[in-house]
Each structure stands twice: as C-alpha cells, then as structure tokens.
Chain A
Amino acid sequence: MEHIRMPKVENVRLVDRSSSRRIKVGTLYLTATHTIFVGKGSEDRCELWVLHSLVCNVVKHKASQSGYPLLIHCKNFQVMQFIISQESDCHNVYISLSRLSRPEKYEELYCFSFNPNVDKAEREHSWDFLDLKAEYSRMGLPNKLWHVTPINREYRVCDTYPADLFVPQSVTLPVIIGSSKFRSRGRFPTLSYYCKENHATICRSSQPLSGFSARCLEDEQMLQAIMKSNPGSRFMYVVDTRPKLNAMANRAAGKGYENEDNYCNIKFQFIGIENIHVMRNSQQKLIEVSALRSPSMGEFLMGLENSDWLRHIKSIMEAGIFISKAVAEEGVNVLVHCSDGWDRTAQVCSVASVLLDPYYRTLKGLMVLIEKDWVSFGHKFSHRCGHLDGEAKEVSPVIDQFLDCLWQLMEQFPCYFEYNEKFLINIHNHIYSCHYGNFICNSQKERKDLCIKEKTHSIWPHLWENKLDFMNPLFKPDQSQNQGLLRPRTAPYCFKYWRRLYNRFDRELHPRQSELDCLMTVKEETQQLEEDLALCEQVEHQIFNYHPHKSKQALWSLPLDTSLANTPQDYIGGFIGGAPNVFTLQQGERESAELCLFGDKPKSSDADNSDQESGVADFSSHSSGEESLPSEDSVKDPDSDETGPNRA
C-alpha cells in the first residue's frame, strides 16, 4: 500500500481507442492489486478492473487541451487511455502504477492475496487436479525400457528440472551425473514424450559443453542408451533448434553442439529458430501493428511482414513437424535441445506432442502438456513474462508462440481439437495475470521453496469448471483419435494473424456474429432437447400420471450482438469510429472549399440513434462479466473469473 501515492482521482476520462469520440468520465481508484475505473452516472455506469500484474507499461503522453493522457499497455494486449485533468494527479498515478506493476518480491503478486471462498482442503485438492505421474503412466511409463530416476529428488543434479525424471533403465547414476556436468545448467537428456505404439521418444536437454573439442564419455553413453531404448531403430536424431550460426558462436564460450563423430549413430540437425531477444522484438513490432489506429491495408500487411512474427511461428511449427514425423513415421528417437533447453525446446517438444498425440488436443490434455513440458521442465515463466521487476532482456513471448502455433493448427484442423480458441486466450491471460500460482517462479524448486501450493490456488480446476465455454462444437473425438499424425501444411499463406488474441479488446474488429458462439448455443440447446425428449417419452409411458412439465422454449436464439451489428464505423478516410457526419477529408481535398461538408448539423450520430452501442455501453460490457461481478481481465467473455477481485 505504501506505493499508492494517490488512491483515488476524480473526473478521469477513459477514451475508447477505437473512437476518440467515445469518452467516459469517472473515478480512478488504485488499490493494492487493481486499477479500477468507475464511470459516473447511472446510465453509463461502468467498471473497469485491471490487475496490476497485467500491466506491461505505463506511458505519460503530452498534455492535450483536455488534460494529461496516461496510456496503460497490458500483457494481454489491452490498451487503455485515461485523461487526467491535473498534472500532479497524472504524475502520481503514473508513479504509483509504475511501481505497482513492477513488484520486487513474489509475495507482492496477486496470487498470494487472492482468496476465493474455498477452504484449505479444497485449495490443496486443486493442486492435485493434474498428476504428471498419471500422465507418464498414460504414455505407458515406467516400463522395461524407461524408469524414474531418483537422482534429482532434491534438485541437486539440476535445480531447474523437476524432481522426477525418466531415463533409460540401462543408464547408471554416474552416467547421469557425468552427462549433466557436460550440459548447460546440468540439464541432461531426459524423456519428454514416449510413443507407446513404436517405443520412439522425444527427449530433451540443454546444449553440451563441447566447446571446440571437448567430449564427455558419460554423455555419449547417455545418448547411446537413449538410442538403444528404442529397440526398433538404428540411429537417433539430435535436433538443435538454434540457427547454426548461434550454435557455433556458443562454442567459443565452451558450449556448443554435438559432434557427430563422437556420438554413435546420431543424425545431427539444426532447425533455425531464433533466440528470445529476436522473438521479443518481433512481438513488440507485432503489437505495434495490431495497435495501429485505422491502418491502411498496406501498413498492416507490411507491418505484419516486418515483424517477422509469422515467419517465427512457421519455423517453430516446422521443427515440431520434423520431430513428430521422426517419431511417428521413422519410429526414431529424437533428442531436442537449444541453449538452455527451456524455451525453444519446450516449444517444439510440445508442438510435436500435439501433432502426435490426440490426447493433447483435449482440454485436460493441453493442461497436462503445459504442466509437463513448460511448468515442470522449468520454463522460466517469471522471467519470460516479467512477473517481477527485473531484467527486461529476460522477457520473451516464448509461450505466446506455442499458443499461436496451436491456434494455427486449430485453423487447419477444425474438428480435431476439443478446445476452442477462447481456451487458449484464457490460458494466455492467466499465464500473465499472476492470479493463480501455476505460472509463478522459474522452476519447480523455486515454487517448492516459495510454498506456492500452500499459499496460492491452481488455475486448472477453475478452467475445468468452466469447460463448457471452452469446448469446440465441431470436435470429432473419434476422427481425432484415428487421424494419426497431424500433418499441417506450412505454405506461407497457411500462417495467419491471430486477431482474436492480439486485438482481443478491439471488439469492433471481430465478426459481429460468431459462428462458434452460435454452434455452442445450438449444441447446448440440443442437449436440453434430448433431455426434454427423454422426459416426454417417459411421460407418454405413464400418461395417466401426466403433469405438464415446465420446459425451456426450444428455439435457439440468434446470438447476435444486435447493438454492434447496428453500428457503422466511420467509413470515411478510414478513421474508424470517428464521428460519422464529420467527414474527415483526404489531404488535398481539404483545400477544396467546395467540398466542405454540412456544418449545420454538428450533432454526433450517437445522439440521434437508438443504439445501445455507445462508448458507454461498450465500456460497461468490457468492464465486467456480469453487472455485479467485475473481473480482473475486464472483458465479457469466459475469461472472466467467477471469483472476482471483489471477493478478494
């Protein structure tokens, strides 16, 4: 609380980014966990809640006539613009928010104060919702080829790995220890995915400390053992997901990549996925493009191209395809690494797993996959997501890219995923929100030391409870199951811009009617009808005891946002949302006096139409899921948590 210089500012104006015309006046509150904007007046009452942990940066803009603008960019791609009338107020809010959005200690994060109405037992139970042991046994492990080594139980061999790790039965403890000493941060080769059908596996590690010539017998034995654990294959792939140049540069620092001559029967392969810094810059450019105000088609497409984002997504996808084909088609083991083995390695292992195994295309399966490949294997969520104030260079959208790859796959295979894109967007939101403890810290060990399970809640059961919102109505489980390996196409035009994520809060950019929502409504109603039908048939049987039952009117209603459907943008000059009758003329036309438009009718078009859609209504629906239930991520979709901060 000591960071809040200004708990409340009156007469703050909230500007709708799609239209500077739509302005809401209200009061801005700063609490320990949220920035809250409450609109004045009864009819345009609205509330906007933003978690401090979601705030990416706060920028003061040059003072305008109307006051001092403050721009807040969020990690979930929401952008808010407030205008504060007093400079000192604006500065105070700026300073407070800058500090509040950059906590220095884990304890300051929202998940430690978030306290929904559940008892201790229930909270502890929430952490048992996913069980990685069960996941490995689903894969068919342990078996006579692979077993769990106790070597890392105390995180002594590798403090960024989980406690339980699968290694080939034949590998001895000295080999593991020797191999771990020859790998960056002790991340020795260990199993990520096992294919029951043909015993082929995906293993992961960090780069070897090979320098220009160093070798390590134990590490070579380790790879040999992995290769032999797959009885059917005579060689294995070692996939270095870095560009060759990067890997070579690492040799100078005593790191590097495997020398094919030193290892028996390995095929070494580079796959050029760029490093976290390139990816960070790429996403930064992408966000800039997505946030452009009424760009021309050229600006948008060139911006998208110059960001290189889709090129990176393609390279990750291609790596996943390579690995999944090696496993499914060649039946060959693959060892994947990058530098540390927690970024690109996590991406490509999980993409390959989704292609290989239909289970990961189910709701529960995706949760398990993220828990396994990302959380347990030490993807550095705190660093990559910038949960705490720290090194900006550590931040990188590595997991965003994984979710983007999944979305691309869902676009290509609409019937093979149990979940819909809302599920991905929701997960994305919570990775950054620090609302739950799952994505806090950089490793399992850190989470244990911090008692995350004792002090915070787990997101997974919460998502599971809301699974109806995340279901893909087109999902065909049998087909997905029998499909075998998914073979996505990788022609450039197959990679698309994920508007629903990057323009998530720009409602006017999305289709006004959603096929997804419509089908979900129909399916829900079909279920109701099935129940009605069963009831009717039952009643018919016992006709003499018949009492008319109350049943739902069975006509699926049009899930059409009529207010939106009935609101034009500004189609003149491309300034979307500008006053429709104040035509913004093109440069050059402005000079021509004869082109002046009517000046005698200065009223805004909102004033004379009966739309519910005004800036006001728009904001109010942004601000809370239900009228009385403000949610931290301030949008009316299933992302909103039932357990809103008002109960915190």
Chain B
Amino acid sequence: MEFAELIKTPRVDGVVLHRPFMPTVEGTLCLTGHHLILSSRQDTTEELWLLHANIDSTEKRFVGSLGTIIVKCKDLRVIQLDIPGMEECLNIASSIEALSTLDSVSLMYPFFYRPLFEVIEDGWQSFVPEESFKDLESMTDEWRLSEVNKDFSLCPSYPSLLTVPKDIDDESLCKAASFRHGGRFPVLSYYHKKNAMVMMRAAQPLTGTNGRRCKEDEKLINATLCAGKRGYIIDTRTIAVAQQAKARGGGFEQEANYPQWRRIHKAIERSNVLQDSLIKLVEACNDQSHSMDRWLSKLEASNWQSNVKEILTTACLAAQCIDREGASVLVHGTEGTDSTLQVTSLAQIILDPACRTIRGFEALIEREWLQAGHPFQQRCAQSAYSNGKPRSEAPVFLLFLDCVWQILRQFPCSFQFNENLLIMLFEHAYASQFGTFLGNCVAERGKLQLSQKTVSLWSWVNRPQELERFLNPLYEPNNLVIWPSVAPQSLLLWEGVFLRWNRSTKCLDEAYQEMVHIIEYNKELQNKVNSLRRQLAQLETEDKMVADLK
C-alpha cells in the first residue's frame, strides 16, 4: 500500500494544537492515508480531522527539541501543531507534505470514502442534460440536442450532449468547432423565457492575424437571432488583449463577418492574475500587525474587490442585453472555461429565479461549471498559501461564489439558500470526500468512473438533514430579475470566507439563530391561528346547521 510508505511516524503523543479563537487541545496526532487526526481522547473536546487534500502548504520551526508545524489549508485556515521530538516532527512534516501533494487522482480520498449515510437520491443522476433539455423543449422548438461530441473528439472539454440551434447540422458544428479555441463552438447556455432571447457561450474564434473566417460559425450564431434582430458578443477580455490573441492564432469576431452582432469588450482578469490577487488578499486578511491604513492599501492592492466588481458588472451587462435590450448574447473570453462561465452563470442568477433555489443553483453549477468544462482539478489544486510555482491554479470558481454572495447580500430575501451553501461549495471545490469536483471535464470524469467509484456531493447536500443548514429563513420566492448594485460602496469583503478563521462568530451566530427563531415563531403562530380559525369556522357551520334544522 503506497500510503504506508509515506507515513514514517503514524502516531505521536503529546501534540498541542493551536487554533485561533479556540482553546488549545493536547492529544495524540495520527496520520492516515487521507487524514491528519488530532484527538485528545476526551469526549468533551472536538477532534481535528483534516483532509490531507485540504493542506495547501506547511512550515516547520524548531525551538530546542520542540518542533512546530504550521499547517495552512486550502479553506484558508491556519493551524499550529507543537510536536515534541525533532525526529517525530520532521517525519510528520514530510509525511504531510507527501500526502497532501499526491499526483494521482485515483489516490484521492473520494475513491476511498464510504458514506455513513444511505444514498437516497444519487447526485450523479440528479442533473442530466436530457432533463434540462426537456425543460427547454417545453418552451421552444428552435433547439436540438446534438450528439456530435459523443466520444469527446470534437471538443474534449465539452460534454457529450450539447444544445444547438435546430437548423444547424452536425457537420456544420464540426466546422465551427475547428474555428474555435479548444473546439468550443457556440452552444446554448440559457434561454430567457420572458422574451425568447438566448445566451450562448463559446471560446474565442481562431481568426489569427490574417482574419480567417468560418461561414458555419457565422451561420451557427446567426441562427439564434430572430429576423431583423441583432445580438451582442460579450468578449470578457479588453480589446488590447483580444488583439494580442490574434498573434497566437486566436482573436475575435470581425465586424464585417458578423454584421448582425455588436461586440463589447470587458476586462476580466486572466487566471494567473486572479491567483495572485487571492494570495495578496489572504495575506492582507491574515496580517495581524498592520495598522488601519496598511489594511485598506493592501485590500486595494490585492485587487480582489475590483475583480468581483468587474465580473459582476459583466454579468449584469449580459443580463441587461438579454432582458432589457431584448437581444441575444454570445459570451466568450479565450478558452471559454473561466471568465465566460463566471459571466454566463451569474447572468442566470440575475435573470432566472429558478437559479436562486437550492436545487436550481446546484443545477446551475452542474450545467455551467462541471459539464461546461471548468477545469476544477487544475484551478483548485492550490489555494492562497501555495508557495510553489503557480501552474494553472486560479480562484475562478471562488470569485463566482463571491459574486453570488454579493447578490445575496443585496437581495437577502430572494435566495432559497444562505451563505453556508456558498462556503461549503468553496471548501468542497478545493478538498472533499466527494467526487463531484474531481477531474477537469466530463470526459475525464468518465474515465475516472467517478459516478461508480465515488459519492456525489449532491447525494449528501440534498439529504433533508443537511439541507436545513443551507436554507435561508428569509426566503420568499421572487420572480423578478434582480439587478445588483456594482458600486464600490455596495460591494463588501466576503468575511465568511476571508476572515472566517480570524474572528469569533459567536455574536454573528447568535444573531443568525435569533433571526431563525423570529421567523419560525411567526410560522408556528400562523399555523396555530389558521387551525383555530378553521375549527371555529367549522363549529360555526355546525351551529348554523343545527339552527336550520330547528
């Protein structure tokens, strides 16, 4: 067994665990293949179970023979372990290091995890494309489900089933695919029932420096326009970046070839810039010593809030084009797997009340992130404490969640779920016992046989016992389009993630509990009053009948 080789010292006694805002715990440290466990062997103190996959980086220090390991986690928590004995400490540190950086996906915990609950609804089957296509069919017959990518050869990052305009045949799709980066030809992302406008997504067109064109691509996206109508292409890159892309074979839609479309360029940062932004932000949040001015400077310098603003603004723009301008929209950046998905998924939350329910939000993540081929495995390999050379890590999904949180803050009654769901998704995207976020695309997940070998996150979340934690007590379905404010004054730092481990939440938890109580008490009274009223009404009718009989 490979793990045993990596674990030099499986057990150390007398280890002291320090966590912010919690009492220190002394106990026995155990290393297993997937967990770091610290137990005081007393019933009263909570044990620490930490997934190795959650460990972002470690540091070790020695004072005499007492070693200290600082463990920095992907969920941004920082803990300290004091380990007596230099050798033990070194052994533990190197084991953690090795176990938290396993290369092989199939050695990950989800492949070993056996749920302690009965899987009632298999999350792997909860959101299949056929089902969402049925919904679409009930609204319009302009679209069809194409199997052109059945074996993932046309576009390795797309799922096997794709929704495309009815009048475009598979042959045209193949040609369009060859004209788009990574084969990601334009496909349907969202259908706006209210005015039959659509949002599509793709990757950049491969125009190159000599202005290549592709009739099939043009025909494909024009097929989504009503007669005489025009559409918008939202390119998530600045015009300068898009121009530069030409030199590498990419580019953007030339006006002359797409006369029915108007292009708008936005400035969503590329993934390596976002990763840098996250690192700086977390550094600022963890810096305990700084003064007031350093804090705001550092927050500003991290650019995180600017990124949130830019992404949210672009999503609002897409939603505005669809809902207000009555125009169809095509969204793309470079690869179409990052900023594109941020924009299309946020726009749907703004436009579509269904996406603001728990089920609908899960479906959205499944559709617009997992099946749409956001490379979770690559993007979430490391988080804010990574000190190695960055590869393709980037907090693209975290930024999306942050934007959702911003909208949630501005419309606290319009979402069925609360902040906890968003934080939970952040955690599981980076380290999880479930297989949902493993792999980079549908094809990879198929090869890994995740649906057979691992449990889906949704199987767990959708259990009534778990769901309760994620419900927003203030929720009242709101069928309107919700337009958030993107002004800097309106956008807040997401403390629930970034300051989560640097604050005591006692007072905030208390406030949340009180809110739940107020609403539950109200509902309870309503029920009582209603049932009493019914009883009274019934008594009254009986009364009348008696009187009538007389």
Contact = CB atoms under 8 A, between A and B. Distances in A.
Interface of A: 290, 294-302, 304-305, 308, 310-311, 314, 412-416, 473-474, 476, 479, 489, 491-493, 495, 497, 499, 503, 506, 508-515, 518-519, 522-523, 525-526, 529-530, 532-533, 536-537, 539-540, 543-544, 546, 548, 554-556, 558-560, 562, 565-569, 571-572, 574, 576, 580-581, 583, 586, 588-589, 592, 594-595, 597-598, 605, 609
A290 B528 CA distance: 48
A326 to B, nearest CB: 23
A57 to B, nearest CB: 22
B411 A513 contact: yes
Contact of B525 (A310, A533, A560, A568): A533
Given A495-B292, A522-B518, A474 B511 contact: yes
A571 B486 contact: yes
Most-contacted residue by chain B among A412, A413, A513, A594 (CB, 10 A): A513
Given A543-B539, A597-B262, A493 B488 contact: no
Interface residues of B, number: 85
A415 B410 contact: no
6 contacts: A297-B488, A305-B292, A311-B292, A506-B489, A511-B410, A589-B239
Interface of B is mostly: helix
Given A540-B532, A540-B535, A566-B483, A609 B510 contact: no
Contacts of A503: 489
B529 A554 contact: yes
Given A492-B292, A536-B536, A560 B478 contact: yes
Contact of B529 (A508, A522, A533): A533
A508 B474 CA distance: 22
Interface stretch (B44-52, B78-86, B316-324): B316-324
Contacts of A492: 290-292, 294-296
Contact of B483 (A300, A532, A568): A568
Interface in B463-495: 474, 476, 478, 480-491, 493, 495
Contacts of B57: none
Contact of A512 (B291, B319, B411, B540): B411
A298 B277 CA distance: 14
B268 to A, nearest CB: 13
B134 interface: no
A522 B539 contact: no
B518 A526 contact: yes
B489 A497 contact: yes
B511 A298 contact: no
A283 to B, nearest CB: 16
Given A311-B291, A509-B490, A518-B474, A605 B324 contact: yes
Contacts of B530: 554
Given A476-B510, A509-B489, A546 B536 contact: yes
Contacts of A310: 292, 296
B149 to A, nearest CB: 32
Nearest to B293: A305
A558 B478 contact: yes
A583 B518 contact: no
A217 to B, nearest CB: 42
A554 to B, nearest CB: 6
B424 interface: no
A105 B480 CA distance: 53
Contacts of A497: 489
Nearest to A309: B292
Given A533-B529, A554-B526, A569 B292 contact: no
A413 B510 CA distance: 9
B239 A301 contact: no
B316 A571 contact: yes
Contact of B485 (A296, A308, A509, A580): A509
Given A566-B480, A571-B317, 12 more contacts: A299-B488, A311-B291, A476-B510, A492-B291, A512-B484, A522-B519, A526-B521, A540-B532, A543-B539, A546-B543, A566-B481, A592-B239
A495 B295 CA distance: 10
Contacts of A594: 254-255, 263
Interface stretch (B205-213, B371-379, B500-508): B500-508
Contacts of A586: 238, 265
Contacts of B529: 529, 532-533, 536, 554
B518 to A, nearest CB: 6
Q: Which 3 A/B pairs are nearest by Cβ-Cβ distance?
A: A492-B295, A300-B488, A305-B296
Given A509-B485, A511-B412, A530-B525, A414 B508 contact: yes
Contacts of A580: 320, 324-325
Given A298-B306, A513-B412, A529-B526, A536 B532 contact: yes
Nearest to A592: B239
B488 A301 contact: yes
Contacts of A509: 485, 487, 489-490
B409 interface: yes
Contacts of B484: 512
